Structure 1
């Protein structure tokens, strides 16, 4: 999955546009903040589907706005730009998110290793109106 790197690129842009407050002491790692981490997974899955499925596109402006919102939430919780960047740029976090995404797609009944499986997953997410589906548009 290349999605976490795409998220990192988008968040880097968001960092340049939105300044956050200084982090408070003793905050849990961002990976443990469900409202941030879970939403990073959803955004990453949408990007992965759009990257691998020729009949589905990602709604780029909606996705970028969503990522800016996540960055703002993390900042409001007291995380510094450096802490947020470290989470987004981490190879370990990328691998963890990739594993979570693969497991989620499989648990949904689709093959995450094929374009066909990802297309079917994306279309199912669009049809059910999920957060993932809200970032996608079907071109077929």
Structure 2
């Protein structure tokens, strides 16, 4: 009879305390990916702002390590990053943010203004950008 409680304890310890939420719902990861997309749009549209490409690459690697440390497998991470619906969602959130901040496709300076503000405020977005 003592084996049953021991087996239950072993089974309990072998399972994760809580199931992982889908990567598409993991706030920290999604917020960073959205910030990266916003920074990318700014650097591609604004002629006076560049991206800190090497820094961004390092941040992307840190984000992947973060996901792995939370228990997500490389396959789960790759599937999330390759997911067209998730990319579309991230891009849409980024575009919405830019629009709310006053970005206009026909006005590159509107992207520059947002970029300068993000850099000055030292946001995650701003940390991925540098003024030329």
TM-score, normalised to structure 1, is 0.75
1:103 matched residue in structure 2 = 96
State the distance in 2 between where 1:100 and 1:63 align.
19
Shift of 1:63: 0.6
Call closer, same or farther: CA 1:41–1:118 in 2, change over 3 Å. same
Question: Which digits, 9 at most, give the CA deviation of each residue in 1:15-55, with x for residues without a partner?
Answer: xxxxxxxxx79421111111111111111111121112111
Equivalent residue, structure 2, for 1:117: 110
SS in 1 for 2:50: strand
Q: Could you say which residue in structure 1 is the equivalent of 2:12?
A: none
**Runs (5+) with no aligned partner, structure 1:** 1-23
**1:112: how far off?**
4.7
Alpha-carbon shift at residue 116 of structure 1 (Å) = 2.5
Give ranges in structure 2 of 5+ residues lacking alignment.
Answer: 1-15
Instruction: Please report the TM-score for the alignment, with normalisation by the length of structure 2.
Output: 0.80
Runs in 1 of length 4+ with deviation above 3 angstroms? Answer: none
CA contact (8 A) 1:102 1:112 kept: no
2:24 alignment partner, one of 23, 26, 31: 31
- Could you say what secondary structure the match of 1:137 adopts? strand
Query: Larger Rg: 1 or 2?
Result: 2
What's the Cα RMSD here? 1.6
